[in-house]
A and B are shown apart, each in its own frame.
Chain A
Amino acid sequence: MTNVSNNVPSDTVILSLKHIEKSFGGIHALSDVSFDLRAGEIHALVGENGAGKSTLIKIVTGAYTPDAGEIQINGSVYKSLDPTQARNLGIAAVYQEFNLLPELSVAENISLGAQPLGRFRLIDKKARSALAYELLERLGAHTHIDPDEVVKRLTVGEQQLVEIAKALAINARILIMDEPSAILPSRDLDRLFTVIRNLRDEGRGIIYISHRLNEIFELADRVTVLKDGQTMATKNVADTNHAELVSLMVGRPLTDMYPPKDNTPGEILLEVRDLCVEGTVYHVNFNVRAGEVVGLAGLGGSGRTTVCRALVALADVRSGEIIYRGKPAPRSPAAAAQAGLVLVPEDRKTYGLVLNQSMRFNLSLPNLSQFSLMGILHSAKEKGTIYKIIKNLQIKPPVPDISTENLSGGNQQKVVVGKWLLANPKLVIFDEPTRGIDVGAKAEIYMRIRELTRQGVGVIMASSELPELIGMCDRILVFYEGRLSGEIPREQFSEEAIMRLATGVKVNEE
């Protein structure tokens, strides 16, 4: 596996970031990041979810303005970039979500915005196709991608190559690849790696982001590890190993914010047998007992969130069974909530809250049948219950009619948690319950989870924050590429063990 590259990068630094800082709403996404990229090297960028990788990329491509620090490109110093400027400086990025127009041809997508003109200032289609052909040829993709084909008819791997060709069309010197392998079937990987190596050998600098450490050892020349918005280290790939990278990515002291476990699990509440969801989850088996906290670990796109959604009927199950309290689980989110099976979703602003409405509105939304008779609401009853839960969760300010967009992140998250606690759940699935909230609010949510288990409620906790999984769970299930790659019992918990399973280090490929 460790076929270390024998490429010798030049010493020319083409991009250098110095002490970059960026925060959103008082929370530091990047607190002190320095990074440099040489011509003719593949520089891997690794770190856990939320370590600041995407923020860093967006600063380089000009989508975000940094709060402090400087950006040096080809010797010139910039405080910040804008997208056009970044493009003109030869910076191009290939994201997981492509910036292609599916209805237009490959050739047109490649030269969009600067289409070659011929006679009468009309677009020269021949020249356009020829340019596309030439660029695809340099990628070795000219044999299977027709420049005149409509992009929507290409496979994901082919579309990715078109994105790279677009970057070549503006003669990008700095190419950023954001988890390019995450969306590719494994048969397309070798081709992608060859392409990337060739681009490097032409003297371009490539920033390669990936969660899969194997790839980094196969492909990259240097690697920089980010953690909590800071640069931990930059190493030559030849001088490091898996273990060191994993410990750099996760190594942080455990704090005592996790309330101790004080109960024993009861009977089986939920049983998942051979669960498959089209294209994302394959043959997953596990169960959850009453009073137990089961952790779901796994990197972005590992199928962890899809499993959570499938349990409450928000994702279509292709095959397999979900048995909840001895019966097949309800097949609509409303029925699931009725039966006490609820999901506290990730990303509260997208899935959790109706932001322009009040705290009361949001707290009662899934519980309206409790406060209503034949569809008519009983306001006094609603207010009483809402007031109790606000007090109980210590949501601040304790004003039921305040609009949720005016609450802090932690209090917003408490509203999302609260609205599902009101449903008197028997099994609660938390997806990223503490993303983007402050330490105090985190501790309160952990307390709440312990309290639930004490009452005999089963808890599934999906999270990318390993310390919280380790602090809270009875056992942890790790997902990798849509499959369960392993289960870790409490006595064997360690961040290294989880990361190893989550990055596919010890995984049977089939």
Chain B
Amino acid sequence: MKSTITQSRSIRSYFSGFQTSARFVRGVDLAGQWAAPILIVAVLIMAAIFAPAFYLPTNLKTVGIQIAVLGIVAVGQTLVLLVRSIDLSVSAVLALGAVIVVQTEAGGPLWISFVEAFAVAAAVGLANGLLITKRQVPPFVATFGMLVFVQGARLAYTKGQASGTVPEILRAISFEQVGPIPAALIVWLIVNIIVLFILQKTRYGRWIYAVGGNPAAARYAGIPVDLVIIGVHTICSMLAMLGGLLLSGYIGYVDLRLGADYNTNSIAGAIVGGTTFTGGRGNLFGTAAGAALLIMLLNLVVVLGLPIHWQYAVQGIVLVMAVALQGFRQFLLSR
């Protein structure tokens, strides 16, 4: 085992064909970690010069709520990426949650709808985790299959009709303000604090970094690797559900295309913030910055009066550049 690893690595470095200095590697590493915060500052300055409308209170509120929603989904995505997995079903879960709550609003107590919503999300996450650990399905295939399935289930359930108004409570935790701050931002902050606490101050958090950093060493250290991965997927789906509830509270109605971009954007947010696909590297601060950067760029498209579809181009460019940068960074670091 050992000899093959060293052998393949030496062959790899031979074929990659160029010599790199330590300073170059360090530079790429730092760029990977600090790209998002630096770019945020740059964007804020550019906005002040070219698009002062960005700073209008109503716009800032919109941006704030959108950052909160994407930020929450991206926290889940970060956790999943930390254990070398990925979740492409977040957009479906997000949309599903909004639908469930809105549809069951008609009859029965509200809290049951909420319990149902989070139970469904947990079930989806659990299924993702089981497919990945127990059946060794590659994560993107498993969660992609789940995406198609959950989307189908949602359409079959709603018969494709976008319907319903959103319960007051969702407006309250999303659109209403606490002082000058939209409630959604506070929810986002709370989620970040809780997950940060889990990652930094609990045994489970250590396990997540260990499983992502070196699964074999984690197993030798007696860590239940499969359980960690399943747990992280369950958390990720439930955070996507929370994001969906906040989003529908903000928009005020539920429509079919709700949340479609959250796969791309949550991955982009996490990756821009310094999380890598190879696991064990990444943190919530970076993810928060990545989500904020992405939303600000998307918002600038609107503020600058550009056609709305350029948002797609922006999120695509951010994703490609971030993935390319992190892929290259990881490649250099692991040589």
Contact = CB atoms under 8 A, between A and B. Distances in A.
A154 interface: no
Given A361-B209, A372-B202, A377-B202, A356 B281 contact: yes
Interface residues of B, number: 31
Interface in B199-233: 201-204, 206-207, 209-210, 213-214, 216-224
B219 A356 contact: no
Interface stretch (B6-14, B36-44, B152-160): B6-14
Contacts of A44: none
A354 B222 contact: no
B183 to A, nearest CB: 28
A314 interface: yes
A356 B202 contact: no
Nearest to B203: A368
Interface string B1-35: 11111010011001000000000000000000000
Chain B CB within 10 Å, residue with most, of A314, A351, A372:
A351
B219 A376 contact: no
B227 to A, nearest CB: 11
Contact of B217 (A334, A336, A346, A354): A354
Contact of B7 (A58, A354, A377): A58
Contacts of A366: 221-222
Contacts of B219: 314, 333
A337 interface: yes
Contact of A83 (B1, B14, B202, B280): B14
A205 to B, nearest CB: 22
Contacts of A419: 221
A334 B213 contact: no
A287 interface: no
Interface in A158-215: none
B213 A83 contact: no
Contacts of A347: 1-2
Contacts of A337: 222
B280 A356 contact: yes
A354 B218 contact: yes
A377 B203 contact: yes
B203 A83 contact: no
Contacts of A10: none
Contacts of B1: 347, 350
Interface string B267-286: 00000000000001100000
A379 interface: yes
A355 B213 contact: yes
A245 to B, nearest CB: 23
Interface string A347-381: 10011111111000100111011001001110100
A422 to B, nearest CB: 11
B326 to A, nearest CB: 14
A357 B280 contact: yes
Contacts of A375: 202-204
The range of chain A's interface size is 35 or more
Contacts of A365: 206, 210, 217-218, 221, 223
Chain A CB within 10 Å, residue with most, of B214, B218, B224, B333:
B214
Interface in A28-80: 54, 58, 63-64
Contacts of B220: 314, 333, 343, 345, 351-352
A55 to B, nearest CB: 10
Contact of B10 (A63, A334, A372): A63
Contact of B224 (A54, A334, A353, A355): A334
A96 to B, nearest CB: 8
A389 to B, nearest CB: 15
A5 interface: no
B220 to A, nearest CB: 5
A83 B11 contact: yes
A336 B210 CA distance: 19
A116 B14 CA distance: 28
Chain A CB within 10 Å, residue with most, of B5, B7, B207:
B7
A63 B281 contact: no
A103 interface: no
B23 to A, nearest CB: 16
A97 B213 CA distance: 26
A7 interface: no
B295 to A, nearest CB: 29
A361 B206 contact: yes
Nearest to B205: A377
Nearest to B7: A63
Chain A CB within 10 Å, residue with most, of B14, B201, B213, B220:
B220
Interface of A: 54, 58, 63-64, 82-83, 97, 314, 332-337, 343, 345-347, 350-357, 361, 364-366, 368-369, 372, 375-377, 379, 419
Given A351-B216, A354-B218, A375-B202, 7 more contacts: A58-B7, A58-B10, A82-B14, A333-B219, A352-B217, A356-B333, A357-B280
16 contacts: A54-B3, A82-B14, A83-B11, A314-B220, A332-B222, A346-B2, A350-B2, A353-B217, A354-B210, A354-B218, A365-B210, A365-B218, A368-B207, A372-B203, A377-B202, A419-B221
User: Which 8 residue pairs spanning A and B have beta carbons closest together?
Assistant: A334-B222, A354-B213, A333-B222, A366-B221, A368-B203, A354-B214, A365-B221, A351-B220
